[in-house]
Amino acid sequence: MSFKASDVKKLREMTGAGMMACKQALSENGGDMDAAVDFLRKKGLAAAQKKQSRVAAEGTVASLVEGNTGVIVEVNCETDFVSKGDDFKGFANQVANYILTEKPADIAALKSAKESEVNELTLKIGEKIDIRRFETVTTEGALGAYNHGGRIGVLVDVEGADASNEKVSDLLKDLSMHVAAASPKFLSADDIDETFKKKEAEIYAAQLKEEGKPENMIEKIVEGKLKKLSSEVCLLEQKFVKDPDTTVGKLVDSVAKEVGTDLKVKGFKMLILGEGIEKKEDNLAEEVAKMSGGN
């Protein structure tokens, strides 16, 4: 018995299982809908998918660099306890390796390829697992890479860099650690878009108003703050965290002169674990009261 796309959709609605799992169930059961439902229930995939409505804001950012290509990927779970387990960490590293070797087009393609493995891990550990996002960088120069305990992953692309040179290698490390510490949003002042400037201006104005600054002074103060914006949010214009007397841009130029080659920071990527995920705040007292029948 054959089956259609509409049958896959119907099975998904009935069980909550993923598309690939539904296709497999129908295929292995000759398109028989009832048999496919039983197949999914036996495998427990339907139960695993029910956990996908939960909030998963813990997890890890895995990093992998091989040759001139680097990968950072955020894989989430629900609790810090699970994130430290070998099964979860092993899966996150395996996902990073898959991205490096198979080069999925986007996060949707990656999730589809890893759907069955995500379901199996969800069943094993009992928590929602989500491959949230990833970044890849391929360079003609060298990559700086830094991972801060699985909480922050950074890749920095430096053109003209030879990582076998000790001073350049140190620079690559310093740049990636600086990005993790200072969280720049842009590479240089030329990259700051007008939407970002407008948003920051609105925030500055609101803060000044809250501080009680006179209305006729706010606009001028905001203008002054915007002029300093690039030194706060642009990597090359930020003060270097290990030596605030110089900027990142000047540091790169200084090392370039020392090694006698042109070095240019082409860009950077950073993933911060759980960034932008609205976490559920648990109230332990309320939970205990509910369990004990209290009000």
What are the mean pLDDT values of the chain's consecutive 10-residue runs (295 residues total)? Answer: 86 77 90 88 68 84 97 96 96 98 97 91 87 97 97 98 96 98 95 92 92 91 90 96 97 97 98 87 54 49
State whether residue 186 is helix, strand or coil.
strand
Task: Tell me the HSE value of 52 on the side-chain side, using a 13 A CA sphere.
Answer: 19
CB neighbourhood size of 58 (10 A): 20
End-to-end CA distance of the chain: 56
State whether residue 127 is helix, strand or coil.
coil
Stated as kind and residue range, the H or E segment containing 87 is helix 86-102
pLDDT of residue 123: 77
- What CATH code is assigned to 55-138? 3.30.479.20
State whether residue 63 is helix, strand or coil.
strand
Mention the CATH class of domain 5-53.
mainly alpha
pLDDT of residue 19: 81
pLDDT of residue 48: 64
| Rounded distance between C-alpha atoms, residue 101 and residue 113, angstroms | 13
pLDDT of residue 143: 97
Task: Tell me the HSE value of 72 on the side-chain side, using a 13 A CA sphere.
Answer: 25
Per-residue pLDDT tens digits for 216-264:
999 999 888 888 999 999 999 999 999 999 999 999 999 999 999 999 9
> CA torsion 229→231→232→235, rounded to 10°?
120
Is-contact 254 260, C-beta < 8 A? no
> CA torsion 210→216→222→225, rounded to 10°?
-100
| Rounded distance between C-alpha atoms, residue 256 and residue 120, angstroms | 50
Q: For the stretch 100-129, what's the b/e string if a residue is b when 16 or more beta carbons lie within 10 angstroms of its beta carbon?
A: beeebeeeeebbebbbeebbbbbeebebbb
- Name the DSSP class of 71: E
pLDDT of residue 22: 87
| Rounded distance between C-alpha atoms, residue 185 and residue 73, angstroms | 18
**Per-domain boundaries in the chain:** 5-53, 55-138
pLDDT of residue 119: 85
pLDDT of residue 268: 98
pLDDT of residue 287: 53
pLDDT of residue 261: 95
Of 62, 271, 259, 243, which is closest to residue 158 (Cα–Cα)?
A: 259
pLDDT of residue 1: 61
Identify the bridge partners of residue 76 per DSSP, sorted by sequence position: 59, 130
pLDDT of residue 44: 67
Identify the bridge partners of residue 272 per DSSP, sorted by sequence position: 152
Model confidence, pTM:
0.78
